[in-house]
Amino acid sequence: MAVGNTTRWVASAVADQQLSAIKQMAMLSAEVPDVASLAWGLPSFATPEHIRQAVIDALRSDRDIGKYALPNGLPELREQVAKVHRAKTGVEVDPTDNVLVTAGNMEGLSCLLRTIVEPGDEIIVTDPGFASHIQQIRFSGGVPVFWPLEESQGWRLSVERLPALISPRTKAVILVTPANPTGTIFAREDLLRAAEIIKERNILLFLDDPYSSFIYEKEDDHCDLASHTGLSDQLVYLFTFSKCHAMSGWRMAYMVLPNWLREQVLKVHDATMICAPRISQIAGLAALTGDQSHVEQFRQILSVRRDLIFQRLDRVRHVFEYVEPQGAYYVFPKILVDHNNAFDFSLRLLNEAKVAVTPGSAFGAQGENHVRLAFCVEEDQINLAFDRIEEIYPS
Ligand SMILES: Cc1ncc(COP(=O)(O)O)c(C=O)c1O
């Protein structure tokens, strides 16, 4: 048997793709001792104590803790999700008909895409946009259609371009605001106009929401399309506990969606995962019902780190030019110094300066000649990274 023969054994949808550049960089940088890493959007925070305690208690007292849960999630968690969603958006949802608990938004989106995509169907994503969305669309047999953001207008969502991107094969648009990798909060009027177009053209909207707790300015501009009742039959809102509750390793998220779609996605989720880990659902319930003060604490710490990275970027204006992000914890500067492409530049930084960043090309064609810097790491990591950048690119 020709083991190792990729062409013979591996599906082209997989063989033709690279491991995401974010993880490639994370793995390459793990080989470099004493690296200063701004590559991975993995916040430095620990899961809050009361969430851990709830799990410790459940491990002690709940004989069922090690068992499967029902595929759609623990009833008490879904009840709480419905309450929180109502409080956040004003939209009434039913814990049984409209809520599906998943093992992270990545699993949720993957199930959604596999539910709706026939080979060749199109899914619209922003360019730049989250690299894993692009991969998931391709793995599911779909075609990503890129919706360029306007860098010259602060990475604005160019809503006027949307109608021309929609074809008879378009199934959905995926949006993230605040965005990854640019940290942009898309303008309310652009989002509302996009919602109108999506409604008129009768396609789906997937709102992937890891970052709406991390907004540092223009808070009033943030528009949560999940509260747009006119779209409710076409909208899937995906909330992840990973970032705002520092629970990335628990793999815990939920989606709120119309029942007709939930019934279909549930089949895919069940065949993929059976259920989100029960133990993580206990943690998720504690995160939703317990003290929320850590969310604001994280936001404040990230806000200080954001100011620091701006100060440091301002000292290397000959290396990078950047648009200030209003949310999330990424900045996406353009590379001004001589380089072949973003990947080579990132490799040079890693090998010569021991600084890990993510090449912007991973996030779409418009990301070429940019890098993504994640400022969710400790301040001394940010300082070390920029001290080293200043050393190899003296002004
Ligand atoms: C836009 C976006 N979606 C999803 C995720 C991952 O979410 P989860 O940990 O819930 O799978 C991330 C993580 O960086 C992200 O930036």
**What is the CA(133)–ligand 1 centre distance, in A?**
9
Residue 128 in tokens: 């730049």
Taking a C-beta distance cutoff of 8 angstroms, is the pair 205, 172 a contact?
yes
Residue type, 202: N
d(CA 212, ligand 1 centre) in Å: 12
pLDDT tens sequence across 173-186:
999 999 999 999 99
Give me the pLDDT at residue 62, please: 95
Centre of ligand 1 to C-alpha 5, Å, is 32
Distance (Å, rounded) from C-alpha 181 to C-alpha 187?
Answer: 16
- Nearest alpha-carbon partner for 247 in 7, 55, 100: 55
Q: Which atom of ligand 1 is nearest to the CA of 328?
A: 16
Give the strand pairing for 371-374 and 358-359: antiparallel
Give the tens place of pLDDT for each residue, 281-293. Answer: 999 999 999 999 9
How many whole angstroms separate alpha carbon 395 and alpha carbon 391? 9
Place of tokens 């690119």: 393
Q: What is the pLDDT confidence band of residue 219, given thresholds at 50, 70 and 90?
A: confident
Least confident of 54-58, 215-219, 324-328, 370-374: 215-219
Distance 381 CA to ligand 1 centre (A): 22
Domain ranges of the chain: 6-47+294-392, 65-289
Residue 170 pLDDT > 90, yes or no?
yes
| CA pseudo-torsion sign 94, 262, 106, 76 | positive
Ligand 1 atom nearest 176 alpha carbon: 1
Considering the chain, what is the average pLDDT of its residues? 94
What's the fold here for domain 6-47+294-392?
Aspartate Aminotransferase, domain 1 (3.90.1150)
Asked if 6-47+294-392 and 65-289 have one fold, the answer is no
pTM exceeds 0.85: yes
Q: Which residues line ligand 1 (CB under 6 A)?
A: 41, 104-106, 130, 176, 180, 208, 210, 240, 242, 248, 253
Structure tokens given for 171: 């199934």
Q: For residue 246, how far is the Cα from the chain centroid?
A: 14
Residue 25: partners with Cβ closer than 8 Å, 6 or more residues away: 39, 40, 346, 350, 356, 357, 358, 359
Secondary structure string (H, E, C) spanning 184-199? CCCCHHHHHHHHHHHH
Angle at the Cα of 137 from the Cα atoms of 366 and 326, rounded to 5 degrees: 45
* pLDDT digit string, tens, across residues 294-310: 999 999 999 999 999 99
Helix, strand, coil percent content, the chain, rounded in steps of 5: 45, 15, 40
CA nearest to 141, candidates 12, 270, 9:
12
pLDDT-derived band at 14 (thresholds 50, 70, 90) equals: confident
Could you tell me the fold of the domain covering 65-289? Answer: Aspartate Aminotransferase; domain 2 (3.40.640)
Q: Is the pLDDT of residue 232 over 60?
A: yes
| Residue 2 pLDDT exceeds 60 | no
Residue 355, classed as helix, strand or coil, is strand
Taking 90 as the threshold, does the pLDDT of residue 266 lie above it? yes
Among 42, 105, 184, say which to mutate for ligand 1: greatest number of ligand atoms within 8 Å of CB. 105
Please name the amino acid found at residue 296: E
Q: What phi and psi, each to the nearest 5 degrees, are found at residue 231?
A: -105, 0
- Average the pLDDT over 91-106 and give the result: 97
Instruction: Note the pLDDT of residue 3.
Output: 58
Query: How confident is the model at residue 29, as a pLDDT?
Result: 87
The one-letter code for the residue type at 37 is S
Quote the ligand 1 centre to 262 CA distance (angstroms): 20
229, pLDDT greater than 80? no
Helix (H, G, I), strand (E, B) or coil at 107: helix
